[in-house]
């Protein structure tokens, strides 16, 4: 019948939304579309520009990025804003509520690293590496490790700090870093998560360390990878 088609169109453009009271399903309506979640992830450490997002989001097209940014803004998850005159540049920033989605990313990350199909060797954006560090950090395993790391990836500065228990990560440079680590995200990941010898990475020119090298050497122990799920296992 034609009526169906017509009502579909006029009802609302909710062809692909779950018409469900379940809030988790609603979350998928909000950021379940392709690329929406990675876009949010890239903004989790602060405002970014269009071009920065495009490069970080490996393979996204300008069209997609524009559409997702519009959609996420309409949903109230981010805002588009123009920086004041000296800079006068367009940036996208999460709203307060948008930032509050961070625990979802943590829960997903913690769970999905155990997937048999998960491969940490894929393209890694600086922001997602930083977020993964925060997620995978284990206070128990780290023991008394403390320090202030400055990380430089693709010529952008990020930091990672642990000072008795608490950890903090973010974009930008910090004062008095104990050590400066320069390299690509995959290179850094390979020594933190992939138990690649530090000398190997430095020797190959993938990584440069400036400052207290011992802090880096103790790093892998702070981020124990959980074992992957094995064969399909019944709950018990």
Which residues in this chain contact a second copy in the complex, by CB under 8 A? Answer: 16, 18-30, 32, 34, 37-38, 41, 58-59, 73, 75-76, 79, 93-97, 99-101, 103-125, 128-129, 131-132, 135, 185-186, 189, 229, 232-236
Question: Does 110 engage in binding with DNA (CB under 7 A)?
Answer: no
**Contacting DNA (CB under 7 A), which of 11, 19, 22, 59?**
59
Alpha carbons 113 and 183: distance in angstroms, whole number = 23
Q: Any bridge partners for residue 80, and if so which?
A: 92
82 binds, among DNA, a second copy, none (CB under 5 to 8 A by kind): none
Alpha carbons 108 and 44: distance in angstroms, whole number = 15
What is the Cα 40 distance to its own chain's centre?
Answer: 8
What is the token pair recorded at 212?
A: 């207290």
Q: Which of 219, 221, 194 is nearest to 206 (CA)?
A: 194
Q: Which is nearer to a second copy, 56 or 150 (CB)?
A: 56
Least distance in angstroms from the C-beta of 215 to a second copy: 23
Number of H helices, E strands in the chain: 13, 7
* Residues near DNA (CB under 7 A): 5, 15-16, 33-35, 49-52, 59-64, 66-67, 80, 89-90
């Amino acid at each position: 019948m034609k009526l169906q088609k017509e009502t579909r169109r006029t009802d609302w453009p909710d062809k692909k939304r779950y018409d469900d009271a379940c809030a988790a399903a609603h979350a998928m309506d909000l950021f379940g579309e392709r690329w929406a979640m990675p876009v949010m992830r890239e903004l989790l450490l602060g405002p970014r520009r269009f071009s920065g997002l495009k490069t970080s989001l490996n393979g996204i097209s300008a069209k997609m990025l524009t559409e997702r940014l519009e959609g996420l803004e309409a949903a109230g998850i981010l805002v588009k804003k123009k920086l004041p005159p000296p800079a006068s540049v367009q940036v996208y920033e999460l709203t307060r509520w948008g930032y509050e989605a961070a625990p979802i990313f943590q829960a997903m990350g913690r769970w999905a690293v155990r997937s048999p199909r998960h491969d940490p060797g894929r393209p890694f954006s600086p922001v997602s590496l930083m977020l993964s560090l925060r997620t995978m950090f284990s206070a128990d395993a780290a023991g008394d490790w403390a320090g202030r790391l400055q990380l430089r990836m693709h010529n952008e500065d990020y930091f990672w700090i642990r000072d008795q228990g608490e950890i903090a990560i973010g974009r930008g440079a910090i004062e008095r870093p104990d050590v400066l680590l320069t390299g690509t995200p995959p290179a850094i990941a390979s020594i933190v998560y992939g138990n690649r010898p530090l000398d190997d990475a430095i020797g190959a020119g993938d990584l440069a360390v400036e400052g207290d090298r011992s802090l880096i050497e103790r790093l892998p122990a702070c981020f124990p990878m959980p074992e992957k799920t094995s064969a399909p296992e019944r709950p018990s």
